[in-house]
Amino acid sequence: MIVTTKELFKAAYQKFAIGAYNINNLEQCMGLFRGNVDSDAPFIIQISKGARSYTDKRMLEGIIRAADEVFPEAVFAVHLDHGDYDACIDCIDSGFYSSVMIDASGEPFDENIRITREIVERAHAKGIVVEAELGQLGGVEEHVSVDEKNAHLTDPDQAGEFVQRSGCDSLAVAIGTSHGAYKFSGDQALRLDVLAEIQKRLPDFPLVMHGSSSVPQEEVARINAAGGAMKGTKGVDEEDFAKAVPLGVTKVNIDTDGRLVWTRVHREFFRDKPEKFDLRDPGKIFMAEYAKFIAHKNEKLGSARTLKWVRELL
C-alpha cells in the first residue's frame, strides 16, 4: 500500500526512523520488499534522477507497482530523491509518487526558499508531500578548515525560518555526513550537537539524514578480498541512529550500503564460480542478501516490528 511520507513520519516521530532505500532495478526491488515485509517495517522507496533514467522511469515504476501486488502487506511511500525543479514537476504530475524531494540546497537561502515554495504549492495541490534541503553535504577533505566545514552544515538559526517560509513537510539537514563510501577521515563523525540545535528550533518537525550508509568494514574487506580496490572507506556509526531519533531524525537515507551488498555478492560469486554465466544465480543470492541487509537496518532504525501498529494509525 502506497502512503505519503507525512503519514509515516507522524507515526514514527521521536520513536523510530523510517529507512529510505534507493533502488534502480528488479533485484533491488524484490530484496527491498522482502526485507521490509520480513522485518514488519514501513519503508520509503527512493528513486533518484539517475534511477529514473537508468532504463526508463516507466520500467522502475512498473516494477514497484507489481511489487505492491506481490507483497500486499507492505506499507511504503514512493519518493523522488534529490529532484530538481523539472523532475519534481514530472513526478507530481505522474500521480505515482507520494513524496518528492526538491534539492535546491546549492542555491542561496532566499532562492532555495522560492524554488521549494513553488514545488510545495504544486505538490500539496495534489496531496503530495515535499522534502527540502538546507545546508550542503560534504566530503572527506582533510585540508578544509573546521570553519569551512561548519559553513556547509545546516545553520540551526536559518532552519526555522526556512521551514516556515517554504512550507516544506520535512527537512534534510547537513550534519557532517556525505554521500558515498568515503564520508569521514580521522576522527570526524556525525554532528549530533548541530542536530540538537536544529531540533530545538523545529520541535515536532521531521528531519531527514542523507548520506547515512554505515559502509560496514567487513563488507568492504570481502569486496577487496574478491578483487575490489576500495581504500579508506568510512560511514555513519549505526548506533548513532538511536541517538538521532530523539533529536527529530525520522527518515534515514541509505543507498551506498545496498550497492556494497551487490558488489560483494557478484565479486564473490564470479571469483568462486568462474565457469558460471547465468545472471539469475548471483541475482538470487543478491535478493536474499539484500533482504537480510534491509531487515538488519530496520532493527538499527527501530522500524522493525512496527508495521501492525503503523497500519492501525493510517
* Other CB atoms within 10 Å distance of the CB of residue 2: 16
- Of 57, 79, 82, 234, the residue at the interface with ligand G3H (CB under 6 A) is 82
What is the separation of C-alpha 169 from the centre of its chain, rounded to a whole number of angstroms?
16
Minimum CB distance to ligand G3H smaller for 13 or for 54: 54
Annotated active-site residue 68? The verdict is no
Give residue number: closest CB to Zn ion.
210
Residues 6+ apart with CB under 8 A from 226: 264, 267, 268, 271
* Residue numbers 178-217 binding ligand G3H by CB under 6 A: 179
Distance of closest approach, residue 50 Cβ to ligand G3H, in angstroms: 3
Cα distances from 45 to residues 78, 79, 129, 150, in angstroms, run 5, 6, 14, 31
- How many binding residues for ligand 13P (CB under 6 A)? 14
Among Zn ion, ligand G3H, ligand 13P, none, the one that 303 touches (CB under a kind-dependent 5 to 8 A) is none
Q: What are phi and psi of 226, to 5 degrees?
A: -105, 25
Residues 6+ apart with CB under 8 A from 84: 49, 102, 103, 104
* DSSP 3-state of 78: strand
Minimum CB distance to Zn ion smaller for 211 or for 283: 211
Q: Which of 38, 56, 81, 169 is catalytic?
A: 81
> Judged by CB under 6 A, which stretch of 47-55, 113-121, 222-230, 296-304 contacts ligand G3H?
47-55
- Of 4, 28, 48, 154, the residue at the interface with ligand G3H (CB under 6 A) is 48
Among Zn ion, ligand 13P, ligand G3H, none, the one that 51 touches (CB under a kind-dependent 5 to 8 A) is ligand G3H
Helix ranges (H only) for 202-250 are 217-225, 240-244
| Binding positions for ligand 13P, rule: CB under 6 A | 22, 81-82, 179-180, 210-213, 253-257
